[in-house]
Chains A and B, each alone.
Chain A
Amino acid sequence: MIGRIAGCVVLTLVFTAPLRLEAHHSAVMFDDQKEVTVEGTVKEFQYTNPHSWLLVDVTNKDGSVTTWGFEAEGPTTLLRNGVRPGDLKFGTKLTVTGHPMKDGRPGALWMKAVRDDGKEFYPAGRPRGAQ
């Protein structure tokens, strides 16, 4: 499964390190040189300290489902960046982008989400140049 997804993971060399704050733990488990983007539906939005997790069910080509976890900072950082718990309810269709885990598990450091109505969410703040 991971191999199939990895085939679609963009191994893009990015030139900006994530603006990761000195939070609860290091972010070295994520590969800040790569991005992964998935489309799916919200399984659960764990709006918790010290980190939040957006769990997204992604249907693979063979019909199986993989749950991806996207990690962000805690609630007050999300609120300051306009990501409210009620914005991403169970079943919401969306596209999510993040820096994937180095060990291949379906987890990523959450960078951006686009809801199916077009609304964009940047849990670490909207990067300069983003529309």
Chain B
Amino acid sequence: MAIRCLVRPLLFALVFVSAATAASAQANRQSAEEFRRMLAMGTKSRSASELYAALKMAAPGGGRQTPPFAQLPDWSGLWTASGGGNFFSPGPGGTAPKLTAAAQSALKQGADNQSKGIEYDENLSQCGPPGYPRWLVIPFLREFIVRPEETWLTSETVNNVRRVYTDGRDHPPVDERYPLYYGDSIGFWDGPKLVIHTNQLMERSMGRNQPTQSDKMETVEVWQSVNATTIKADVWIFDPALYTEPWYVQRLYTKVPNEDKSLRVRYWNCNENPNNDVVKTSNGSTNYKDFTFDDKPKEPAK
């Protein structure tokens, strides 16, 4: 048997990783003043629809629908989430979201589970879609396909696509609405900024050990370039099941270096490799099913 035991001085690595993470977060951190101003845009609105309408009214010409392609920002290439605000943690300056009792209870239960090492992903473990707004924070590659009449905000995770219609259409009639993983999104262009209103969302978990969003959730987003390699999304979340006042987060997306263009988004099929099959354990946590590779040693040759 050729098994070698190693002890690695990872405390040294911790110091470096912590310092790098802190430096990166600091560089991207929104100021407390700006955060409060943006949060107030939501809290003074009675609904996401009202905020969206106000932004549309404030945009030159009432917002552009189907603008010429040449006037749209270049968001080509590959992108990935690179930090920003959290759905349930205080923002810059320490302002905390005003949570409902149900959301607070769910967060406490989640923290208890976490402390016991109990974790299961109600959405992703069986390869269901992460859904929106969790889509904002998931890792891996993204592509943003910008067209005058429609923008696709995509992520390689479970091959998801958010379609944002910017051709002037409204949401479907009320009688035709039903819950959707990514909701129904319409938008307009305010100069180089894409403004989005999303409704028709599905009641489901916001993430592992996180509260459950309701089908009453609606959001407003404003997407815009910060520089050639950074896009930011300002997001206002209205959900009476989670928040007693609307919450606001800013999420950042960084362009992934890909000079030789060899890196590409590929299709996800969770059934491709049975070694990735997991089960919910009796205590509500996660473990693998049987592996395809041997889990017992083969007998030596006689």
Q: Give the B-binding residues of A (Cβ under 8 A).
A: 1, 4-5, 8-10, 12, 14-16, 19, 21-26, 28-29, 35, 37-40, 43-44, 46, 48-51, 53, 55, 58-69, 71, 73-77, 79-80, 95, 97, 101, 103, 105-107, 127-130
Contacts and interface: CB of A to CB of B under 8 A. Distances in A.
17 contacts: A22-B208, A25-B276, A29-B286, A35-B6, A38-B2, A38-B3, A39-B4, A48-B272, A58-B2, A60-B3, A61-B1, A62-B300, A74-B268, A76-B264, A79-B262, A101-B288, A129-B13
A100 to B, nearest CB: 12
B297 A60 contact: yes
B20 interface: yes
A22 B273 CA distance: 19
B262 A16 contact: no
Interface in B108-146: 117-121, 124-125, 127, 137-141
Contacts, number: 174
Contacts of A1: 296-297
B137 A48 contact: no
A101 B82 CA distance: 29
Given A16-B13, A23-B139, A25-B278, 20 more contacts: A14-B10, A15-B11, A24-B121, A24-B124, A26-B120, A28-B119, A28-B286, A37-B6, A49-B269, A49-B272, A60-B1, A63-B300, A66-B294, A69-B291, A76-B140, A128-B16, A128-B17, A128-B20, A129-B12, A130-B13
A16 B10 contact: yes
Nearest to A23: B139
Contact of B125 (A14, A25, A43): A25
Contact of B4 (A37, A48, A68, A130): A37
A22 B158 CA distance: 13
A47 to B, nearest CB: 9
B101 to A, nearest CB: 27
A14 B8 contact: yes
A46 B6 contact: no
B270 A50 contact: yes
A28 to B, nearest CB: 5
A8 B295 contact: no
A58 B294 CA distance: 11
A64 B16 contact: no
B203 interface: no
Contacts of A24: 121, 124-125, 127, 270, 276
B1 A15 contact: no
B3 A58 contact: yes
A123 to B, nearest CB: 14
B263 interface: yes
User: What are the 5 closest A-B residue pairs judged by CB atoms, nearest first?
Assistant: A63-B300, A128-B16, A61-B1, A64-B297, A21-B139
Contacts of A40: 2
B267 to A, nearest CB: 7
A42 to B, nearest CB: 12
A35 B8 CA distance: 9
B299 interface: yes
A76 B256 CA distance: 11
Nearest to B118: A28
A69 B273 CA distance: 13
Contacts of A26: 119-121, 125, 208, 285-286
B287 interface: yes
Interface string B187-231: 000000000000000000001100000000000000000000000
A23 B275 CA distance: 15
Nearest to B12: A129
Interface in B214-266: 256, 262-266
Interface string B24-62: 000000000000000000000000000000000000000
Contacts of A77: 140
